[in-house]
Amino acid sequence: MVEVEVVFAAVDRQALLSVQVPAGCSVREAVQRSGIAERFPEVALLDCPVGIFGKVVPDPAAQAVEEGDRIELYRPLVADPKEVRRMRAAKAKASSGQ
């Protein structure tokens, strides 16, 4: 057995769960075994992008976890970052009187 952490942060709350999984367990299986999806039923956590220590895991079903991994579940973006920057720049330009 190896111990890993599964973490998720919503806007209003967060969870960090330690879970023991069999050696060779996939990232996706570790997320399922953690039970974190039940804590955030409003988000489809099993379909969210996943990373380990800030690096995206391209295929969570194929990658095995290692002792001490922190599996991070990334929530979907609410707004396109480019559009937000564009709107912020337009607002700054308008407030400066140009």
Q: What is the pLDDT of residues 65-88, one digit of tens each?
A: 999 999 999 987 777 778 888 888
Whole-model pTM: value is 0.75
Yes or no: say if 96 and 88 are a contact pair by the CB < 8 Å rule: no
- Range of the structural domain that residue 7 is part of: 2-95
Residue 98: pLDDT band (50, 70, 90) is low
Mean pLDDT, residues 22-48 taken together: 89
- Domain of 55: which CATH number? 3.10.20.30
> Which residues touch 72 (CB under 8 Å, ≥6 apart)?
7, 8, 50, 51, 52, 53, 54
**3-state secondary structure string across the chain:** CEEEEEEEECCCCEEEEEEEECCCCEHHHHHHHHCHHHHCCCCCHHHCCEEECCEECCCCCCCECCCCCEEEECCCCCCCHHHHHHHHHHHHHHHCCC
Give the chain's domain count.
Answer: 1
